[in-house]
Amino acid sequence: MPSFDTVSELDMHELNNALDQANREVSTRYDFKGVEAKFTLQQSEVHLTAEVDFQLQQMLEILYQKMAKRNLSVKHLESEDAVIFHKKATQVIKLQQGIPTEKAKKMVKLIKAEKFKVQAAIQGEKVRITGKKRDDLQTVMAFLREADLGLDLQFENFRD
């Protein structure tokens, strides 16, 4: 039976390149002259450090631009509130890898509500979709791309 896996993964190598480019731009920009501002990647978080909140907002925009140039979706980023302490402002952005359980349940419910001739099963941080016909699977793929789940979905392991 044909099947495929729906996943939401972030290419960490490309993210690392985007962070390097963003650090390079921050170090050369005029409005960041003399300011110790930088991006650091620590496991599944990106830490932004600057002097004031406004600079953090500027840095976030730079990061979004660099990610867009590298075809990375900003849907993988979940930013927290900025913390300002004396002359140092920091912000943590969590990286979202995989499909969270509640969103996977919502995805399965949407597929069942549309009455496609497929079965959807949650397997850890991915959703496997199985059907009898390849065309049914392709319509489900198109449906999931259009659905607003707040995730950047990729489809892999397509088997006939």
| Radius of gyration from C-alpha coordinates of the chain | 20
Task: Assign residue 124 the CATH number of its domain.
Answer: 3.30.70.860
Give the span between the Cα atoms of 40 and 42, in whole angstroms. 6
**Half-sphere exposure of residue 158, counting CA atoms within 13 Å on the CB side?**
11
Give the span between the Cα atoms of 110 and 94, in whole angstroms. 27
Of 95, 119, 142, the residue that ends a domain is 95
Are residue 88 and residue 19 in the same domain, yes or no?
yes
Give the span between the Cα atoms of 130 and 16, in whole angstroms. 35
Q: pTM (2 decimals)?
A: 0.84
Are residue 19 and residue 75 in the same domain, yes or no?
yes
Are residue 109 and residue 90 in the same domain, yes or no?
no
Region 3-10: what's the mean pLDDT? 92
Task: Assign residue 83 the CATH number of its domain.
Answer: 3.30.70.990
Residue at 9: amino acid letter: E
**Structural domain span for residue 43:** 12-95
Q: What is the pLDDT of residue 48?
A: 94
Of 64, 95, 126, the residue that ends a domain is 95
Using an 8 Å Cβ cutoff, are 120 and 107 in contact? yes
Q: Hey, is 118 helix, strand or coil?
A: strand
Q: What is the pLDDT of residue 50?
A: 93
Each residue of 97-134: pLDDT tens digit?
Answer: 899 999 999 999 999 998 999 999 999 899 999 999 99
Percent of the chain scored above 90 by pLDDT? Answer: 74
Are residue 65 and residue 106 in the same domain, yes or no?
no
Are residue 79 and residue 134 in the same domain, yes or no?
no
Query: Exposed/middle/buried for 134, CB within 10 Å: 0-12, 13-18, 19+?
Result: exposed
Q: Evaluate if residue 150 carries a pLDDT over 90.
A: no
Of 79, 95, 111, the residue that ends a domain is 95
Each residue of 76-94: pLDDT tens digit?
Answer: 999 999 999 988 999 999 9
Q: Evaluate if residue 159 carries a pLDDT over 90.
A: no
Domain count, the chain: 2
Give the span between the Cα atoms of 23 and 4, in whole angstroms. 38
Lookup: tokens for 105 = 């349940």
Using an 8 Å Cβ cutoff, are 93 and 57 in contact? no
